[in-house]
Structure 1
Amino acid sequence: MVNEAHMASRPKTYYLQEAIERGFSAIANRLDPEQNMRPYFLLRLQPEPKLEHHIWDLGDMCSRFTDAYLLGRPITGTTDYVEEEQALRAMLDTCDPFLNPFMAGRMLLAYVDLYLDSPTEAGQEIIEKLAVAIRSKLQHEEDYSYWFRNAEGWNTMEHAVFGDFNGYPTFPLGGIMLALARYTESVDAPDCEDLLDRMGRFVLNVSGTFDAEGHYQGHTHSGGILTAAVALMRRALKTNDTVTIQKMKTVFDWTLRYSSTWGWIPDGVGPDDASCESCSITDAIHLGLLIARHIDSNYYAILERFARNQLLENQIVHTDPMLPNVDQAQKPQFERALYGSWASWSKPGSLDNCRESVEGCCLGAGIRACYLVWDDIVTKHAGIVSVNMSFSRSSDWVEVISYQPYEGKLELAIHDAPSLRVRVPDWVNFEDITVSIDDEVISVQLPEDGYIRLDGLQSGQLVQLLYPITTVEKVEHVSGQDYNVRWRGDTVISVTPSGHIYPLFKREWMNQGAAPLVQGIPYAAQRSGKVHW
């Protein structure tokens, strides 16, 4: 049974929770009290810091920030920022979804999450009325529908435009499709399904977005390409459309060819010297998690690397390098808005190209990505609980206590998981793993699927996996440049060359051999969320 003295403290490895808590604060400090808490879309950093309003404040920022608070609360357990959340929710209902066609999708996503969190007829009516309004704005031909289409023969592999996302047919459709794909998984809504399928046929067969195999070029998130791919994958999984499932898996694999193994995802797939938008990381993580959950669980290793590394590093936690020319009296205001935001531009080793401004969309997207990963750390299917990634978190079935990257140790405090699967890190040799239950070493078989299977577990027992942490150095070619990368397990400790202004992966402190501990259970207030993607 669990030793109470041993369990009085926890390793300080609850990274996703901490990132969301910082993000919550950043959102609260990007709201304008003089305009009923209207969000500021842009935090301009150069030549002088300034919080700026844009049309994106409304249908886009209100949606993303409402969504972020809703998704993040189960992870943080906090009741802070309730007034800010309520103000955003009220303003959301006043937004025009067609001020820019992109906004309709963002608003629909927020309304779907609100419905999933608290299913009501009123919530269903809001979603389906907005879907009707969207249908009225679209062009309809044969068996497909679209917002706009390019000239006959246009395709992203030959005609992708970089620096302007407005020309991508998926730009206004991706968010709408994703929202309807998730909504129709939970609600019998034939009209919404029909609209979703018509847009899906356009993207797949007419738009020129993907070639026959699933290759593409262009803006991954801002152009709506990866967002649409996630929607198509969700719909294909529901309808058992194996052709589209394989094609969207290829979309993800193709994206990996232009990305780093630690999760730097270019917003522009194609040219070298690209930039990563945090929103693109979120879309890639979402698509990858669908593959890991439904097709190939080995992909969890890829997603854990993304989450441990670029997702967390893209969050701005050092404000001084980004605010060199600010009046000291005004500096705290901008520091509070900047600290905890996610970068809108990043290089594989730095945020040096994010010195001009930071957009609010990436803040909402960063929190959403943390939630998506957190929700898939522990899953349950057919009565079997699976631990898929080694991040510390609580759940109704098992508490996951990870000591990575400091120690090769994973502890699982059993609540209600008589049958348990635990994914073995892909960088560990199976013969080097020691498994014990209540300090008694047991023998386990080499798993074909990468998961150790344990049965007959009882509430109160403690399962422990021990394995060596290995440190390796590799050279990786990303976006036209070679990088020297130092790994500790699946955590990046350093990347060189790094930037001169805001270098990333300065993680020498992670080299210590024992995990820092905190008293109590920092995530004791976590609860299982009602929204699952």
Structure 2
Amino acid sequence: MDRRRFVKNSLLLLSSPAWNAGLDFCLPPKVYSETTSRESAIEYPRQNIPDFEVPPYRGESYEDQVPDTLDIASRAELGVHVLTSIADPNLDYQVYWLAEWDRNPPIMLHDFNDWVQSAEGLMEALPLLRLATGSSLNEQVDPAWMRMNLKCVGPDGLVYMPLNGVPSSRIGNVFIEPLWRPDGSSTKVADKSVAFVTAAAQSARTISAMTVYYLRARNPVWKQTIEGMIRRLSELVVDRGDYGYIPRGGLEPNAKFGPQAAMPTGVLAIETGNIRLLQGLGQYYRVTGYEPARKLAMKLAAFALGPAQTFDSRGRFLFSQLEKDWIKDQYPGIERGEIGGHFHAHTIAVLSILEYATAMGDHRALGFAKASFEWARTQGSSLVGFFPEMILDGHYTGCESCEIGDMIALALKLTDAGVGDYWDDADRWVRNQFAEQQLVEGDWIYKLAATQKSKPVEFNMTDQNVVDSIIGGFMGRATANEAGLVMPHCCTGNCLRAMYYVWEHILESRDDQLRVNLLLNRASSWTDIYSHIPFQGRVDLKLKKPFASVFVRVPEWIKSGSPEVRCEVNGAPRTIAWEGRYVSAGRGVPGDRLTLTFPIEERTVKETIGAVPYTLIIKGNTVVSIDPPGHYGALYERAEYRADRAPMVKVRRFVPDEQIVW
């Protein structure tokens, strides 16, 4: 069964009653705790929490016939599936943060890194995807996650990770030590007297998730909790006048940093939370205008753009010693490099700076984000959206999905901010590496695992329903032609949030105008879009509201002003006018059926991707063939796209009653 067909069949069920060695720094150690029981009750900082409700996702749902092409809403439904299926009901729906299939049997596992649930945006992405799709699959997970969040609020207002009652919680911790205590001394996570830990990074996306819930319900519990976090974070800042920072290390409740607490620099300035915090602070300030969020963000932004030593003056990524230590055994000579490092760590920082810049009107920070993005675009294959997990002068072969999601988000948000036109970048990346690294069919995983060495299923692992659970997630360490052997759900969280950004930006309506920016299938209250790309150069609009002007962005392979772009409205020719990369079809009324056609052809391109030379056949912006091909988890098996007519399929479409501008 091909992957596209599997997506359609999976959604039907859901709605019914050359792998590389890669990095080891983010994977769990092969040493496990002596704790063997799964029965312990989780000990939280508090048990009594305020009341809240998750409002239903209301809207119009209907069946429709659409071209069988890339459908973001369908992919988002698979996203809801993975987010809610990896949640473990035996641990209050805490997620299994990692799946592995370079072993027999395939497994999912728990360890300290389960905190990706908050730190990498899984809780932020879930309500956004439900809004886009109307999916109610496993809807018990959403309130369970937010109850857990509220129970994790400590007496000082920060959100903590409970260790007691979670047997795997002390395995594989990173970026959290030294762990500071209320008396200013420090210890380690292994210290059994430590019950709760946090770092500023955990607050960053928790603020984002709670802001989404606040936008939906306006329940003051979310506002009060966020503002409590911001007040406590502000107390922790070391103020250096022009800038400020939160020292390195993790925290117990009511902890204080000792006199030897260090200023984090390089990648630690991002991963310990300083720069990551800018994202949540910017989002919350944009929604509420909360002044302490602005003041804290300004201090941290000044730190990010200077003393943090994370970027150079041109926005290029600085290669910190810690990043070099992660990979020096695999890549001798790396000590000499000054520019490079972990792609996602830096791009999530750029995205955080961009969120701050647009919310606060900081033009310097906005210019920095643009420059850094444009440099990052040159460090992988901008043709397909493959960006290496580590920037190593073109020598690194694996792509972590996180950075694809980051780069798509940056392309869309920089365009939205009016400092560039990156629609075509987003279009290429979404159609290719982004779409391919989402797991939509898993039979090959079982076949591959059967060839691997048998390994025991440890106490913090499960081998039950692994492949079924991770359908819809995003894989790590793929090559251009082959899926990776792991799925770290940092990739899932970041890419599924980016998927909402794509869904959100496909079209927009303002000032009596409709603009279609990305030629992808989409339902909305303004118009339904039917994209025949890449089978044909054709997109249909079925208007639902009146517009003085209807604009459609023409793909990049068509020259502006081309007479080969033609428009019909209700079967009759319509004269179009070019405005930049858009064509205007003029006025439209409800019921109008607008069809835009243009040429689409195949071309053959030779491209080195992840240090490997490939030959690609590309139709429009869509890769339809790659040579050499992959093997077990082969990517770009898209021969069906080479046909000249799109098959039609029946789907459930959903138009939400509410909008969240995110």
TM-score by length of 2: 0.72
Give the SS at the match of 1:361: helix
2:400 aligned partner, one-letter code? E
> In structure 1, what is the Cα distance between the partners aligned to 2:563 and 2:272?
49
2:125 aligned partner, one-letter code? A
Cα shift at 1:391: 0.8
> In structure 2, what is the Cα distance between the partners aligned to 1:389 and 1:130?
37
Q: Which residue of 2 aligns with 1:422?
A: 552
Q: Which residue of 1 aligns with 2:523?
A: 394
Cα shift at 1:155: 8.2
Q: 8 Å contact 2:541–2:594 — kept in the other structure?
A: yes
1:459 aligned partner, one-letter code? P
Q: 8 Å contact 1:422–1:451 — kept in the other structure?
A: yes
Deviations 1:450-505 (A, max 9, x none): 01123321111111101122111111233333221211111111223343332211
Pair 1:194 & 2:295 matched:
yes
Matches within 5 A, 1:351-390: 351=483, 354-355=484-485, 357-390=486-519
Deviations 1:315-334 (A, max 9, x none): 1233233333469xx97611
> In structure 1, what is the Cα distance between the partners aligned to 2:263 and 2:145?
43
1:426 aligned partner, one-letter code? E
Pair 1:482 & 2:613 matched:
yes
- 288-297 vs 368-377, greater mean Cα deviation: 288-297
Q: 8 Å contact 2:397–2:612 — kept in the other structure?
A: no
Pair 1:263 & 2:385 matched:
yes
Deviations 1:268-295 (A, max 9, x none): 2344224222121121111111122232
Q: Which residue of 1 aligns with 2:220?
A: 121
In 2 relative to 1, CA 195–377 (structure 1 residues): closer, same or farther, beyond 3 Å?
Answer: same
- Pick one of 306, 309, 313 that aligns with 1:212: 313
Give the SS at the match of 1:104: helix
In 2 relative to 1, CA 297–460 (structure 1 residues): closer, same or farther, beyond 3 Å?
Answer: farther
Q: Which residue of 1 aligns with 2:364?
A: 243
Matches within 5 A, 1:21-420: 21-48=77-104, 49-58=106-115, 60-61=117-118, 64-95=121-152, 96-97=159-160, 98-148=197-247, 167-169=268-270, 171-216=272-317, 217-221=340-344, 223=345, 225-260=346-381, 261-271=383-393, 272-295=395-418, 298-323=421-446, 324-325=448-449, 333-351=465-483, 354-355=484-485, 357-416=486-545, 417-420=547-550
Q: 8 Å contact 2:405–2:498 — kept in the other structure?
A: yes
Structure number with larger C-alpha Rg: 2
Q: Which runs of 5+ in 1 are unaligned?
A: 1-6, 157-164
Give the SS at the match of 1:455: coil
In 2 relative to 1, CA 528–391 (structure 1 residues): closer, same or farther, beyond 3 Å?
Answer: farther
In 2 relative to 1, CA 446–68 (structure 1 residues): closer, same or farther, beyond 3 Å?
Answer: closer
Give the SS at the match of 2:408: helix
Cα shift at 1:423: 0.4
> In structure 2, what is the Cα distance between the partners aligned to 1:238 and 1:23?
28
> In structure 2, what is the Cα distance between the partners aligned to 1:479 and 1:59?
26
CA RMSD of aligned residues (A): 2.8
> In structure 2, what is the Cα distance between the partners aligned to 1:20 and 1:124?
27
Q: 8 Å contact 2:119–2:203 — kept in the other structure?
A: no
Give the SS at the match of 1:502: coil
Pair 1:462 & 2:593 matched:
yes
- 369-378 vs 498-507, greater mean Cα deviation: 498-507
Cα shift at 1:119: 2.6
Give the SS at the match of 2:542: strand
Give the SS at the match of 1:109: helix
- 32-41 vs 250-259, greater mean Cα deviation: 32-41
Pair 1:524 & 2:659 matched:
no
> In structure 2, what is the Cα distance between the partners aligned to 1:394 and 1:469?
24
Q: Which runs of 5+ in 2 are unaligned?
A: 1-62, 153-158, 161-196, 250-260, 318-339, 455-461
TM-score by length of 1: 0.88
> In structure 2, what is the Cα distance between the partners aligned to 1:528 and 1:229?
32
Give the SS at the match of 1:17: helix
- 292-301 vs 279-288, greater mean Cα deviation: 292-301
> In structure 2, what is the Cα distance between the partners aligned to 1:325 and 1:477?
29
> In structure 1, what is the Cα distance between the partners aligned to 2:418 and 2:654?
32
> In structure 1, what is the Cα distance between the partners aligned to 2:198 and 2:508?
39
> In structure 2, what is the Cα distance between the partners aligned to 1:483 and 1:528?
45
Cα shift at 1:374: 0.6
Deviations 1:342-372 (A, max 9, x none): 1022222222xx22x3212222222211111
Q: 8 Å contact 1:62–1:89 — kept in the other structure?
A: no
1:507 aligned partner, one-letter code? R
Q: Which has the higher helix share?
A: 1
Give the SS at the match of 2:636: coil
> In structure 2, what is the Cα distance between the partners aligned to 1:478 and 1:529?
41
Q: 8 Å contact 1:276–1:346 — kept in the other structure?
A: yes
> In structure 2, what is the Cα distance between the partners aligned to 1:63 and 1:205?
25
